[in-house]
Amino acid sequence: MFALSELGLRLKSAREELGLSLEELQVKTKIQKRYLSAIEEGEFSRLPGEFYARAFVKSYAEAVGLEPELLLEEHSAELPGRKQEPADLPPRVNRKKASTKKGVKKSSSKMSSFVNTVIIIVIAAVLLTIAVIFFQNQAQDGAVQRETSSGDFDDSQSVADQEEDNTAEDETSENETEDTSEGADLEGEQEEPAQGQELEQNVEDISGFNSIVSVANTEEFNVRVEISGTAWLQLSDGDGDIFTENEYAEGDEFTYDLTETGTIEVNTGYAPNIQVFVNGELIQWPIDPGAQDRQRMTINYQPAS
């Protein structure tokens, strides 16, 4: 048998005064019975990580009516040291695995080199075209001057040739105008964007570290949970059926189609490292993760009518 710590005795006494069993407290706090027993026995090494000792003790204290902050301060010597978590987290779109980032950088570098090469080729082609036109005009001007100076220049023939050239240019210009107009019509038809629905997010309730969010204006309820750093996480359907529960690391990810179920409960010991998406859109934590690490958010799906 383990010797109960002073902190564990206070928590256990408060629980027994309320007539709560460990099983009932497990339902109330969403913390497994074996972890609750470890806290009462002072065996914090049996928890999923030292960092979660304070979060679990705080949840236990709130559930049995004790003041969590005062209790943690009075028994701080019994608790393991708190791990330092990153102060600044990168934006959600930048939280990728290291291997993915390297691949993106390499692709970007190759694309940049390709674009630069294309630009150089286009500039060279334009300069070459200008040079050819310039020399052709110079040659034509020289020929006209020689014919004029020799006295053999035929004015009537020159006028006729110029009229033919102007007629050909007019016809070419009309054809190009028609082709451009038709191309613009086709391009306009192809570039019409498809209109999509915007997901509606509403915060229904906030109580302690618990919150309820509803999502609507969508026909599907696809949920993706991303982990950007070490964090304890429990995912369930709101009826007690747990999808997963463990301490996860950066890069872990979970995806569920809950269109039929309609509810997901996200329970974590460190909210700043957890991002939740519904149909690809980020769901903001109703409680600021910078002020509240331990959070439990329930998301209810309201199907589009």
* Residue 224 sits in the same domain as residue 295: yes
pLDDT in tens, 223-269: 898 999 999 989 788 787 899 999 999 999 999 998 988 899 978 99
Q: Using 50, 70 and 90 to split pLDDT, how confident is the model at 194?
A: very low
> Does residue 106 have a pLDDT over 80?
no
Choosing from 78, 99, 118, the residue where a domain stops is 78
**pLDDT average, residue stretch 100-126:** 72
Burial class (CB in 10 A: 0-12, 13-18, 19+), 12: buried
pLDDT in tens, 46-72: 998 877 888 999 999 999 999 999 999
pLDDT in tens, 153-177: 444 444 455 566 665 566 655 655 5
Whether this model's pTM surpasses 0.85: no
Choosing from 19, 54, 78, the residue where a domain stops is 78
* Residue 205 sits in the same domain as residue 294: yes
> Does residue 112 have a pLDDT over 80?
no
Does residue 184 belong to any structural domain of this protein? no
Q: Which residue did the predictor score with more confidence, 159 or 20? A: 20
**pLDDT average, residue stretch 13-34:** 94
Does residue 100 belong to any structural domain of this protein? yes
Does residue 162 belong to any structural domain of this protein? no
* Residue 73 sits in the same domain as residue 94: no
Q: Which residue did the predictor score with more confidence, 23 or 157? A: 23
* Residue 257 sits in the same domain as residue 211: yes
Does residue 270 belong to any structural domain of this protein? yes
CATH number of residue 64's parent domain: 1.10.260.40
Q: Which residue did the predictor score with more confidence, 199 or 65? A: 65
* Residue 221 sits in the same domain as residue 274: yes
Q: Tally the residues of the chain.
A: 305
Does residue 118 belong to any structural domain of this protein? yes
| Unique residue bearing structure tokens 């090469």 | 117
Does residue 261 belong to any structural domain of this protein? yes
Does residue 172 belong to any structural domain of this protein? no
pLDDT for res 49: 80
* Residue 114 sits in the same domain as residue 51: no
Domain that holds residue 61: 6-78
The Cα-based distances of 76 to 36, 57, 229 in angstroms read: 18, 11, 25
pLDDT in tens, 267-279: 899 999 999 999 9
24-33, 96-105, 121-130: which range is least confident on average?
96-105
Total of domains in the chain: 3
Share of the chain above pLDDT 90, in %: 40
Q: Using 50, 70 and 90 to split pLDDT, how confident is the model at 38?
A: very high
Mean of all residue pLDDT scores within the chain: 78
The Cα 302–Cα 100 span in angstroms is 35
> Does residue 37 have a pLDDT over 90?
yes
* Residue 245 sits in the same domain as residue 289: yes
Does residue 153 belong to any structural domain of this protein? no
* Residue 205 sits in the same domain as residue 271: yes
